[in-house]
RNA sequence: GGUGCGGUGGCGAAGUGGCUAACGCCGCGGUCUGCAAAACCGCUAUUCGCCGGUUCGAGUCCGGCCCGCACCUCCA
């Protein structure tokens, strides 16, 4: 069974057939680095990172390119506000971006090209477009002539005629048509600029992705992804440029993720209803946020709420507890995952889990259904562990562990759910020592059947955010925030 | 106005023609526990926005309607 994905270009699910067998080339539009990212920005990161991981799991080699827009009006404006050099500001937020991405378990792309490093590529493309009369220069600016590209509107399913009618688009500057868009913008005083055949300026909107995608992936690469709001005009314009430039199809499959909403409205800067990822990370571990983002199908809207995150935290904690329990039973043993041996219901469950998981993700990357398969495995495993005490099932347990790690860690990237950041400060060490001391006192109290004392200690610790559990193997505690 | 997306139990969320509508969270009952917690077992939608239609059979296809959202201008 092939991997199937919904292609915005054709509005249907299609089997993924890479242009080059065994190799998938994908490009995802990255952030404009003028501030910290919010949860809405985080969704495509997690979604496409997971998709990339899945493709690798399915045996493809994946070349994954994600750009940084480090030259842009918003960056220039923000830099001016803060009295910083735009390049310095952009670099700062690129660094911040990597911190956020890492917290979410998003792996670095194969290449992270930046606009500022590809001016020559962009200029070369624009020059060619001008030569071929797909674009025209006017007073230091260069515009793309939309009416020269017959396929304009094929991605967003709108016709240039319609856009001209209903739109409030007006002819600005020296554009010949309201639909034309800037490939190169003349520098205004004080703005960063690069030399070009049309005078000092900088790349306009959309040019970067087209030029950099072609540079690293070549024309006709496999998957181009991004948020749904990029369909028009961003991706439409990329197609217009790239295909006019190369004369060949730009990207073969277009994937777009749905929005994060707040009270049903799109999370956005302008509405002021956004939550910075940094803020949410203060309350929930990255893996929980990742789990939460993957618990809705990527094309559907996800209405953000804290209760949902709480639910994700509990669900994911179950996965982790099961894994912890398996580790404990298996001891330090690497535990070869037995593939033979007596037929064991759990072993069948492992096989069924893989099968269901893969079928779900093959079907346009249905993460909620895939996660349901893992929940089934977790439940069956816990059920088995609750009944069995002996250690003669090591091979089977190791097989479960391997499956959980493979699907939950390697593919979904939500494990391990790091308990609490390993406290390394002096204060944290003292706290840990004190808690251990209190629990020793409590154990003594319990031995003397002094339940009042034991419960008081447990309750007071709970009040401090420390959860205490008595298990057959001894008392455990954990931070519960 | 144009183009799309969505409306499934208390909440979240799969399911796009066929056994009793996955799964998670919450809640309730039970097992375990000194009591809890965790874990496990069980229960919780005669019903899938509304109205028609097609079909032996529809949440699932067709038509109409209502509601919400998004894009058409920077936006993941």
For residue A331, is pLDDT > 80? no
A346 CB neighbours strand B below 7 A: no
The answer on pLDDT for A453 being more than 90 is yes
pLDDT at A304: 92
Instruction: Give pairs for A458-463: CB < 8 Å, separation 24+.
Output: A461/A435
User: Is residue A382 pLDDT above 90, yes or no?
Assistant: yes
Residue A169 has pLDDT above 60, yes or no: no
pLDDT at A339: 54
Lowest mean per-residue pLDDT among A31-40, A330-339, A445-454: A330-339
With cut-offs at 50, 70 and 90, classify the pLDDT of residue A466: confident
CA separation for the pair A24, A305 (Å, rounded): 35
In sequence order, what DSSP letters do the residues of A128-142 get, joined into one string?
Answer: HHHHTTSEEEETTEE
Quickly count: other Cβ atoms within 10 Å of residue A460's Cβ: 11
A245 pLDDT exceeds 90? yes
pLDDT tens digits, A15-48: 999 999 999 999 999 999 999 999 999 999 999 9
A400 C-beta less than 7 Å away from strand B: no
Residue A20: exposure state from Cβ atoms within 10 A (0-12, 13-18, ≥19): middle
pLDDT at A419 over 60: no
* C-alpha span between A254 and A272 (Å, rounded): 29
What is the pLDDT, as a whole number, of residue A242? 95
Number of residues written out for chain A: 481
For the cut 70, the answer to whether the pLDDT of residue A424 exceeds it is no
Q: Is the pLDDT of residue A390 over 70?
A: no
At residue A398, does pLDDT exceed 70?
yes
* Nucleotide with C1' nearest the A372 CA: B23
Is residue A479 scored above 70 in pLDDT?
yes
pLDDT at A266: 87
Residues 34-73 of A with CB under 7 A from strand B: 40-41, 43-44
CA angle A461, A463, A465 (to 5 degrees): 75
In angstroms, the CA of A308 and the C1' of B42 are apart by 25
pLDDT band at A443; cut points 50, 70, 90? very high
Strand pairing category for A181-186 and A201-203: antiparallel
pLDDT digits (tens, 9 = 90+) for A131-152: 999 999 998 999 999 999 988 9
Residues 6 or more apart whose Cβ sits within 8 Å of residue A115: A67, A68, A69, A70, A71, A122, A203, A208, A212
User: Nearest nt to A308, CA vs C1'?
Assistant: B12
pLDDT at A173: 67
Q: Which residue has the tokens 């479960």?
A: A400
Both tokens of A161, joined, read 């005629």
Handedness of CA A226, A228, A230, A236 (dihedral sign): positive
pLDDT band at A166 (very low <50, low <70, confident <90, very high): low
User: Other CB atoms closer than 10 Å to residue A22's CB: what's the count?
Assistant: 8
3-state secondary structure at position A218? coil
Q: Chain B: nucleotides under 7 Å from a protein CB?
A: 1-6, 11-16, 22-26, 33-41, 68-76
With contact defined as beta carbons under 8 Å apart, do A33 and A93 qualify? yes
Residue A305: closest CA among A337, A336, A264: A264
């Amino acid at each position: 069974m092939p991997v199937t994905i919904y292609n915005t270009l054709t509005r249907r699910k299609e089997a993924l057939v890479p242009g080059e067998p065994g190799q998938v080339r994908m490009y995802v539009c990255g952030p404009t680095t003028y501030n910290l990212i919010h949860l809405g920005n985080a969704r495509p990161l997690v979604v496409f990172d997971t998709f990339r991981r899945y493709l690798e799991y399915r045996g493809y080699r994946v070349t994954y390119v994600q750009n940084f827009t480090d030259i842009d009006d918003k960056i220039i404006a923000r830099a001016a506000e803060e009295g910083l050099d735009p390049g310095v500001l952009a670099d700062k937020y690129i660094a911040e971006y990597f911190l956020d991405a890492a917290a979410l378990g998003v792996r670095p792309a194969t290449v992270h090209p930046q606009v500022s490093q590809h001016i020559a590529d962009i200029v070369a493309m624009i020059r060619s477009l001008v030569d071929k009369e797909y674009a025209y220069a006017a007073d230091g600016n260069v515009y793309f002539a939309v009416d020269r590209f017959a396929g304009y509107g094929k991605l967003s399913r709108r016709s240039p005629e319609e856009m001209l009618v209903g739109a409030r688009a007006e002819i600005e500057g020296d554009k010949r048509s309201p639909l034309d868009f800037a490939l190169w913008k003349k520098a205004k005083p004080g703005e960063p600029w690069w030399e070009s055949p049309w005078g000092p300026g900088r790349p306009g909107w959309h040019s970067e992705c087209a030029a950099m995608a072609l540079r690293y992936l070549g024309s006709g690469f496999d998957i181009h992804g991004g948020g749904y709001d990029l369909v028009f005009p961003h991706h439409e314009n990329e197609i217009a440029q790239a295909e006019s430039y190369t004369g060949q199809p730009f990207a073969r499959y277009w994937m777009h993720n749905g929005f994060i909403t707040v009270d049903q409205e799109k999370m956005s800067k302008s509405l002021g209803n956004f939550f910075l990822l940094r803020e949410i990370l203060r309350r929930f571990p990255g893996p929980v946020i990742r789990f939460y983002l993957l618990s809705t199908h990527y094309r559907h809207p996800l209405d953000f709420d804290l209760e949902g995150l709480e639910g994700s935290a509990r669900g994911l904690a179950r996965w982790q507890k099961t894994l912890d329990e398996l580790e404990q039973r298996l001891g330090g043993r690497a535990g070869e995952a037995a593939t033979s041996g007596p037929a064991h219901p759990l072993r069948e469950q492992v096989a069924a889990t893989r099968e269901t998981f893969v079928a779900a993700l093959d079907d346009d990357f249905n993460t909620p259904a895939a996660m349901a398969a893992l929940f089934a495995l977790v439940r069956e495993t816990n059920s088995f562990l609750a009944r069995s005490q002996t250690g003669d099932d090591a091979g089977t347990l190791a097989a479960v562990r391997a499956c959980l790690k493979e699907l939950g860690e390697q593919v979904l990237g939500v494990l391990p759910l790091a308990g609490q950041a390993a406290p390394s400060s002096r204060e944290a060490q003292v706290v840990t020592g004190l808690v251990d001391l209190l629990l020793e006192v409590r154990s003594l109290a319990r031995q003397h059947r002094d339940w009042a004392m034991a419960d008081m200690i447990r309750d007071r610790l709970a009040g401090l955010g420390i959860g205490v559990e008595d298990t057959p193997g001894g008392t455990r505690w954990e931070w519960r925030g």
